[in-house]
Structure 1
Amino acid sequence: MSTSLGILAIILWGALALLGNLTKSIPAFQLLFMCFVISFLLLFIKRVLSKQALFTAPTLSLTQTVIGITGLFGFHFCYFMALKYAPLIEVSLIVYLWPLLLGVFVAKAASKLNAILGGLLGFIGIAFLISDGSSFSISTQYGLGYLFAASCALLWSSYSFMMSGFDNHVDDIGWLSLYVAALAFLAHIYFETTVISFTVNELLGIVLLGLGPVGGAFYLWDSALKRGNKTLLASLSFLTPLLSTIILVLAKQISFSWSVVFALAFVLVGAAISNVKPASNKNSEPV
């Protein structure tokens, strides 16, 4: 069941590109602020529905809170900065090193090689998908953007790994969302100009993002990593850009490409290799 929650989070992240298209005219940090406010409100909606006390102290320690804020806000900040200083394709490729890193982080010593081989196969599939089979190059003039993109991969994989080992309640994601919303608001004031009026589609996009890929998905991911199959979730995370592409094709916003099939094959084979258990290992991970 817990692993299923993580897979649902991955599916929600797959909808990010489509929903992002609805809100692309909204400044990035302003949008992030609004989405994380919705994420924070989800905490109280959940408590009302489950008839719990509305206000209870977070269970995260100060160190854990800093790690949570750094992961959630740091990832998005570095991603926006990466896009500012480097092309989208190269940024996307570097950022999607995070499932590979997470797979290596969570793998047991005897399974490290499988995690690396499986992660590399998944990454090759996603690289082909993102580039659509065309060539791409790494240029030193985009060095700062690449550094921000690499920071994204390291931050999110580290955040996921460390949060999976904490014994905090999943409700703490709501409090982290409040802190991230505050930081996003400050970044918006510093970097951007406020947009006040929104279309109906933009409002719908904001709400759906906050309920899903930039809000609700973080609750699901936290719960799944604590009690689910972390190795499987790491390898299946490569499906995120693949799902984004499929959803955009179904929404008729882009044309179908056989690179989708190629990428899917590599991701699934990579996931299978990553999850092969050593012969001497009698215990399986929870599902």
Structure 2
Amino acid sequence: MRATAIGAVAVLLWAALALVTTLTGRIPPFQLTAMAFTVGGIIGLPRAIRSGRAVARGLPGGAWALGVGGLFGYHFFYFLALRNAPAVDAGLIAYLWPLLIVVFSALLPGERLRWWHTAGAVLGLGGTFVLVTGGQGVQLRGEYLLGYGAAVVCALVWSAYSVANRRHPQVSTDMVAFFCLATAVLAAACHLVFETTVRPDGWQWLAVLTLGLGPVGGAFYVWDHGTKHGDIQLLGTFSYFAPLLSTALLVATGRADASWPVAAATVLIAGGATLASADALRAARRRG
């Protein structure tokens, strides 16, 4: 449960993503990703070097492919989806990844998928649907097929990365520093090809630094530890709290309005998390 709690910190950090991103102004997404991941890699580099386990060339090729592919692949396909489909539709499809984590976890050795895990994840998905759409529903249109497809790939990449990460417990979390730096290089290359550079001002630099320390950098260290050593099914379900907490922060800071979809999403997501955590709650009751 300690590792699960550490992994859940990532969900809290991701909840701040929307709010902090609004403070970065009009910095293009790949440029912002490159800058934030550079910060994220730098903060972990001293510990990685001191640990003695941080010789990058000594990492298994599979670990490199998984780490860089997961971090960069998710962001690449997410931005591709946003460029080619309405943001609400793309975001909702991409947020299938918590449910896919719960489903894919059944493929791991020693893991069993119970009905309450799936039911809890589906409730969380329902809460996210109500929250993201404002209760208005979604109309999928043929001209946005590329964006929809990219959003599906985005969800598959992150869920597969999160579950497959459990198969590399011998790879230290310190290695995430190298994965972040490699992701920053790839994002910078995409920025040079697809975007025009925007020079940040004083407050935007602070927002970029905050992203690198938190939701687009630091969060991946605690998520790595949680997915390798914690309850992967609980982490998948708890991840639905990220959009809910994100909306709550936007409401609290006056950047969004409180509404009935927020209240409905709170009930659905909290209920789903409680249902999915039935095993942990019973174990805690027995220990008590």
1:118-165 Cα shifts (integer Å, max 9, x gaps): 211111111000111113211111110000000111000000011122
Name the counterpart of 1:186: 189
Name the counterpart of 2:9: 8
Name the counterpart of 2:254: 252
Q: Which AA in structure 2 matches 1:31?
A: L
Q: Which AA in structure 1 matches 2:21?
A: G
Name the counterpart of 2:68: 69
SS of 1:171 mapped into structure 2: helix
Name the counterpart of 2:171: 168
Would you identify which runs of 4 or more consecutive aligned residues in structure 1 move more than 6 Å?
none
Aligned: 1:87 with 2:81: no
SS of 1:36 mapped into structure 2: helix
1:238-274 Cα shifts (integer Å, max 9, x gaps): 0111011001111111111122221121112212332
Q: Which AA in structure 2 matches 1:212?
A: G
Q: Indicate the percent of aligned positions where both proteins have the same amino acid.
A: 38
Distance 1:101 1:267 in 2: 16
CA displacement at 1:60 relative to structure 2: 3.2
1:159-206 Cα shifts (integer Å, max 9, x gaps): 00111221200011001111111101110111011123x222211110
Distance 1:165 1:229 in 2: 14
Contact 1:235 1:271 in 2 (8 A): yes
Distance 1:220 1:53 in 2: 17
Q: Greater shift after overlay, 231-240 or 255-264?
A: 255-264
Select the residue among 216, 219, 227 that pairs with 2:218. 216
Distance 1:242 1:46 in 2: 33
* Cα 1:54/1:251, change in 2 over 3 Å: farther
SS of 1:133 mapped into structure 2: coil
Select the residue among 240, 260, 265 that pairs with 2:242. 240
Distance 1:112 1:122 in 2: 16
Name the counterpart of 1:57: 55
Contact 1:104 1:112 in 2 (8 A): no
Distance 1:25 1:156 in 2: 26
Structure 1: 5+ residue stretches without partners:
none
CA displacement at 1:53 relative to structure 2: 5.5
Structure 2: 5+ residue stretches without partners:
none
Distance 1:267 1:230 in 2: 17
* Cα 1:109/1:240, change in 2 over 3 Å: same
Question: TM-score normalized by structure 1?
Answer: 0.90
CA displacement at 1:8 relative to structure 2: 1.2
Contact 2:105 2:113 in 1 (8 A): no
Q: Which AA in structure 2 matches 1:57?
A: V
Name the counterpart of 1:115: 117
1:18-38 Cα shifts (integer Å, max 9, x gaps): 011011400111111111111
Contact 1:103 1:235 in 2 (8 A): yes
* Cα 1:38/1:110, change in 2 over 3 Å: closer
Q: Which AA in structure 2 matches 1:68?
A: G
SS of 1:180 mapped into structure 2: helix
Aligned residues: 278
Match runs of 1:128-143 below 5 Å: 128-143=130-145
SS of 1:72 mapped into structure 2: helix
Q: Which has the higher helix share?
A: 2
Aligned: 1:269 with 2:271: yes
Q: Which AA in structure 2 matches 1:13?
A: W
